Structure 1
Amino acid sequence: MSPLYQVLTPEGELAHDIAGLPDAATMVKMYENMVLVRLFDRKSINLQRQGRMGTYAPFEGQEASQVGSAMALSPGDWLFPTYRDHAAAIVHGQSMARVFLYWMGHMEGSISPKGLNIMPPCVPIATQMVHAVGTAWASKLQSEQHVSLAYFGDGATSEGDFHEALNFAGVFKTPTIFFCQNNGYAISVPFSQQSASRTIAQRAAAYDIHGERIDGNDIFAVWMTMKKAVERALAGEGPTLIEAITFRYGAHTTADDPKKYRDQEALSAQWREQRDPIHRLRLYLEKQGLWNEEKESAFISAAGAKIDEALAEAESYPKSRPEDMFKHVYAELTWMAVEQQNELTNPDKQEEIPA
């Protein structure tokens, strides 16, 4: 098994002398972004438990993978997130209020800011990968200098869409970057029971595309690997498959109980204590004189206020209506959808179905 590419060790030290590190301002911004989205994530879980938001997919522990990869993009690049990649979407320019709206069941939560190409979160597993290849191919045909970044988890690599996307991208050398956050589990199924492949990155060879296996909790490794992938894509050298090894501290969603299939507390404690992405970057910044406790307190206070402001904006929206689920799906509703719509809007006027 190939070793993980690592730049910043868990002790906050550089693993080796290396060129191409982010500058000091970017390092600080990386840290601030990771702290902000972690606070956002924790706030969202609390809101769900309070009944103020629907089922939510947490990401705490995966901040370096999402923040580092999104920060390597340009504003015009395409972002194809799953239902868990709201940290990446926020970093790329999506407002936190819109993310709150999405989890509150508002269609408006899928609208990205003007001028940004952030696709709605994709719930079906791996389908966004094919879409990312399509937009990348279109960009290439139009001689645009944009890449398409598709996020997915290790479970998505067991889907046919994964292989179709990589195959098409390899044949047409599309400027697509496939970013796998390998959390080790597809809900309750460990990777060892999904595939005989020892790594996900090695699958790149089957499609003759570039593959990288990195420490997904090392934001420097993530950012630098993504930068190189973008450069290759824009130079016409084709797609890249990145496997970022990371771990999510919480459940698959707020509707899941991970204790039923793994020792969640022990695993989370081990990763949090030994490999936490935020802690290791803070150690490095403190050693460089770029961060201290005073800055930490001030930033956490400001970030909390920013999140509360976004929440107030989201909660000021009228409550979403169940009948909105029938919009924007079909040009003309099917007879089954019409029946379902009538059942919802006129529950007392249903005809009795004959036996």
Structure 2
Amino acid sequence: MKVRTVVGLDAGRSAMKVVAYHGSKRFDVIFPTLVVAAVELSDPTTAARAKLETETVDGKAFFTGDTARLQGNLTSSVGLNDNWTDTPEYLALIQSAITRLKHQGVPGLDDALIVIGTPARLFGSRQESLVARTSKALPAGVELKALPQPMGAYCDYILDKSGMPIKEKLMGQGGKLKSYGVIEGGHFSTDFLLMKEGQYIERGADSCSGMSTAAERLRHILAKKEIQASLVECEESFTSKCLYQFGTELNIEEEIGEGQGHVIQEIIAKANSLFADDARSLTGILIAGGSAGAIYNVTSQTWKHSILLPNSRWAVADGFARYALGQLIRASVNANSQAAVNG
């Protein structure tokens, strides 16, 4: 029986995170969500390195990832609006993700099962158009499915690496399914999900500001101290906790905390409005995404059953891939059952 490749694709607004499984082998790719029109590079070594990160969409060439960051002198990320998936830059990033997987030697990408995500509040209205749009950047034989972004984190928590449910995380006493809330802190938006006894609850799906707002606030805080920084530099500092200024490495952890504080409070307020009536009865509130640590530091003080996912930045991509593996298993079981009936 042919082994089919699955891919979980988290098209974040600060970084593209991609996880692929072929059989038991796992592959992953991460690169900055940066795109710029390509230019001719005169240095042969630089040009060769840039070739892997260059994609063509509708006849126009784009640099992606680190090549875009270095060659394009970008000052902000792309995709800081709800319509960014309608742009050629989005298609270039999706193509680049597949190119990078191919470069790693991932087999079976031409007919893979790929799962992508939408912001929670846009899932109902955007899932079909997102699938149609993203398909333009993928091989014709690919099967593509869209889920709400925080569903990836939920799947990462309750499914094992083969895509099968982890019984103790899913089943409660008396055979009743456990219930969870999810907060997925992203760059453009923070997304929320409520799963009660295995059911997706519409009133618990919403979004609010992400860390791009905090990056903007951080830039203003630094400017008041006569420290200049672009939005991209501010975004990168959330991980590094430092900033370079004329050869000096500045520790700006205090300023980062101040910049993120307002956004964290907005996230907590939104979580309270969505989960308040249900929080007490939930098994846990899962915290994932690039800003998971900062969110968890606050939610854990009020909700003692907050759970910081150990691979929080990768949780969505990994969860999507695990969901896809589970779908293949279910399809195989159903096919075998049908064959037994027909036989």
TM-score scaled by length of structure 1: 0.25
TM-score scaled by length of structure 2: 0.25
**Structure with greater strand percent:** 2
Greater relative CO (CA pairs within 8 A, separation 6+):
1
